[in-house]
Amino acid sequence: MSEIREQVYRDPRPPEAMAPFHEWARTHEPGWTYAAVRVVLTPVALGLYRTRASGRENVPASGGFILAPNHFSNMDHFFCGVWLRRRIRFMSKSQFFGANPLISYLFRVSGHFPVLRGRSDEDAFVTAHSILYRGGCVGMYAEGGRSRSGGLGEPRPGIGRLALESGAPVVPTAIHGSLAVRQWRRGRFPPIRVAYGEQLRFDQVSEPTREQQVAAAERIFGRVRELYEELERAA
C-alpha cells in the first residue's frame, strides 16, 4: 500500500474564516461543478475501478437523510455517489476550503461544506441541519476522517449527534477496495464495491448527551462493519 501522508488534524484558522462557505451551503443547492466532476470521474469510477453497488433500494429517493460511509481514500466521495441520483453534500475537512482558490471553488459550488479539524465546530452542524431540513443528503464519514490503520477505524460521536438531533434516517454505507486506490501509480486499479445498508432511524433528541451520541455512532458504524465484512468475504 502506498504511503499516506500524515493528516493535519487541527486547522488554526478561526471559525469566521469558514463563514462564507457555510453561508453558501445553507442557501444554495449544488451547482455546475457537481455535474461536471461527475461527468469527468464517472468513467474513472465505473471503468478503471469497476465500481459496483448493492442495496441502492435502501437510499431514499427524496427527503433529507444522512449517508454514513467508511473512509479510506479521497475518491470515496465519488465511489459512494456514482451509482446514486441523489446529490451528496459532504462535510469535508476545512483544509479544502480557503487555501487554494480553485479547490475552494470546486468544493463550495459542489455543495460541500467545511468542518474545522481538531475541535468542536457548531457551524458545521448548523449547516448539516439546514441541508437535511431542505430535503438534502448529508454525507458524513462515520470515522471522522480517513482511516490510517489499514482497516476500519472507530466511529466518532459526531455522526451519532447529527442522527439524534435531526431524527433523519441514516444509510450506513460500506466502501470496499478504496484502501488500495493509490496503487494507480503502479498501473493497478482495484475493483471497488459499495453496499448501502437498510436505513437506521433514531428518536429525535434535541440535546443528546455524549453517551447517547457515542451509542448512536457505534450502532451506525456497527452496521457499516457488518456490510464491509460481507464485501470482504465476497472479494
Each domain of the chain, given as residue ranges in start order, spans: 17-234
Please give the pLDDT value at position 7.
53
Instruction: Write out 27-63 in H/E/C secondary structure.
Output: HCCCCHHHHHHHHHHHHHHHHHCCCEEECHHHCCCCC
Please give the pLDDT value at position 4.
44
Amino acid at site 59: V
Q: Which contiguous run of DSSP H or E holds residue 135?
A: none
Write phi, then psi, for 171 (nearest 5 degrees): -105, 100
Instruction: Report DSSP state, residue 65.
Output: E
Please give the pLDDT value at position 99.
86
Please give the pLDDT value at position 1.
41
Strands (E), the chain: 52-54, 65-69, 88-93, 113-115, 137-139, 170-176, 193-196
Please give the pLDDT value at position 190.
87
Digitized pLDDT (tens) for each residue of the chain, 235 residues in all: 444 454 556 788 999 999 999 999 999 999 999 999 999 999 999 999 999 999 999 999 999 999 999 998 888 999 999 999 999 999 999 999 998 999 999 999 999 999 997 778 999 999 999 999 999 999 999 988 776 666 788 899 999 999 999 999 999 999 998 887 776 666 678 899 999 999 999 999 999 999 999 999 999 999 999 999 999 999 7
